[in-house]
Amino acid sequence: MRTFHCSCGNKLFFENSFCVACSREVGWCPVCEGMHAMELDGKGGYTCTNKECGAHVVKCYNYSTYNVCNRMVETPAGQPHRFNQLCSYCQLTETIPDLSIEGNAQKWYDLEVAKRRLLYLLDELGLPYGSKAENFELPLSFDFKEDVEASPILGWIGLEKGEKVFTGHADGKITINLSEADPVEREKLRVSFGETHRTLIGHFRHEVGHYYWQLLVQNKDEEAYKAVFGDHENPSYSEAMDQYYKNGPKPNWQASYISAYATMHSWEDFAETWGTYLDMMAVLDTADNHDLLELPSDNLVDTQLEEMLARYADLSLKVNEVNRSLGLPDLLPETFSEPVVAKLSYIHRLIQRNRKKK
C-alpha cells in the first residue's frame, strides 16, 4: 500500500478523507490514481490538486452522503456535475446494512474500507474483475447482510422463520455477515475456531479466492489445478464439509496445508492459499513502499516467487519479534512447507498468465 502527500506536504494514507495537518478535503482521484487534496471548484465539485492531473471530480455518493468511501468520480470537461454517482468500487456493493440500526453505519464503513483495500490490491496485481453493468464474464458484487430473527410479522416477505446469513461466495457474489464487522463477535469466533487471525480483510481475500477459482480455473485449467490441490469433485463439497465438521482437520495438516480449514476441501485449500498469497503481496507492497525492504522489481507479479518468499520470511521474523516484545500475537504466523509453496507457485503463475496489462 502506497502513501501520498497533501499539497501542504503532509503524508496521506489510504483511508484519509481530510488532511490532519491542514484540514483540506482529500480523496482518491480516479484519473491520476492517487490520494490527493481536493479544491472546491465553485460548482459543488472539486479539482484534483496533483499538479500532473488537475482533473474535475465529484465525491462518490457514498462519500458525500454516508462518509463510508473516500473516492472521487471524474466529471468530463464541459459536462455538468452529477452528484448521485457511485465510484467504481461502490458500484460493486449491491446490499448495504440497515442504517436505521445503531452501529450499522460504522460496520458498513469498516466493510467498505476492507473492500477498498482488496480491490486496490487486485488492481495492483492486474487481476481481472468487472460489474454487471460492464457485462463482465463473471460479474463481481458484494452483499453486506445480517441475520434476521424469526418473526411472524415478517411473513409478508417470506422471512417469518428468519434468515441466517452465511459469509461466502456464489457465482461472483461475495456475502459478508455483518457480525464479522463487530470486533467483539469476530474475536469470539476466532477463539471458537482456534484461528490465529480473523479479520475483515482476511474474509475478503479468502472469498475472492473462490471467485477467481470460478473465473480463472473452472473449465479452463482444472487438470493443472487438480495436480496441485487435488480433485474438487471427489469427494463432493457437501460430503467434505460433513466430514470436516464431524472429524475436524486432517492429522498433521501443517505438513501440507496453510491452515486447518484448508484441509476441508480442495476449493477451501485454494481459497485459503489464495488469501495467504494476497496477504503476502499486500505486506511486501507496503513494506517496499515504506522502505522496510526493497524488492527487485517495481511490479510484484514480475518478482520471482522464491525471492518474495525469502523477503516475506525475513520480514516476518522481524515484525513478529516486535509484536512479542509487546506481548502481542505474531503478525505473520504462517510457515510454508514444500506442498504449500507448490500451491503458492500455482497461484503465482495463474495470476501472471491472466493479469491485465497496464
pLDDT tens digits for range 254-310: 999 999 999 999 999 999 999 999 999 999 988 888 888 777 666 777 788 998 898
Give pLDDT, residue 156: 47
The predicted model scores a pTM of 0.91
Q: How far is CA 344 from the centre of its chain?
A: 18
Give pLDDT, residue 358: 57
Instruction: Delimit the domains of the chain by residue range.
Output: 4-86, 88-215, 221-357
When pLDDT is cut at 50, 70 and 90, the band that residue 189 belongs to is: confident
Checking if the pLDDT of 196 tops 50, the result is yes
Look up cell 493479469; give the residue: 355
Least confident range from 20-29, 32-41, 149-158, 185-194: namely 149-158
Give pLDDT, residue 94: 97
Give pLDDT, residue 152: 59
When pLDDT is cut at 50, 70 and 90, the band that residue 142 belongs to is: very high
Q: For 81-138, what is each residue's pLDDT tens digit?
A: 788 899 999 999 999 999 999 999 999 999 999 999 999 999 999 999 999 999 999 9
pLDDT over 70 percentage in the chain: 94
pLDDT over 90 percentage in the chain: 72
Least confident range from 89-98, 136-145, 169-178, 315-324: namely 315-324
Strand bridging mode 34-40 / 56-59: unpaired
**Nearest Cα to 334, choosing from 279, 265, 290?**
279
Q: How far is CA 49 from the centre of its chain?
A: 28
Cell numbers standing for residue 89: 468500487
Give pLDDT, residue 329: 84
Q: For 219-265, what is each residue's pLDDT tens digit?
A: 999 999 999 999 999 999 999 999 999 999 999 999 999 999 999 99
Handedness of CA 130, 108, 100, 164 (dihedral sign): positive
Give pLDDT, residue 135: 95
State the angle between helix axes of 338-354 and 305-325 in degrees (0 to 180), rounded to the nearest 10.
120
Q: For 199-215, what is each residue's pLDDT tens digit?
A: 999 999 999 999 999 99
**Nearest Cα to 97, choosing from 173, 29, 176?**
176
When pLDDT is cut at 50, 70 and 90, the band that residue 147 belongs to is: confident
Amino acid at 169: H
Neighbours of 87 (CB within 10 A): 24
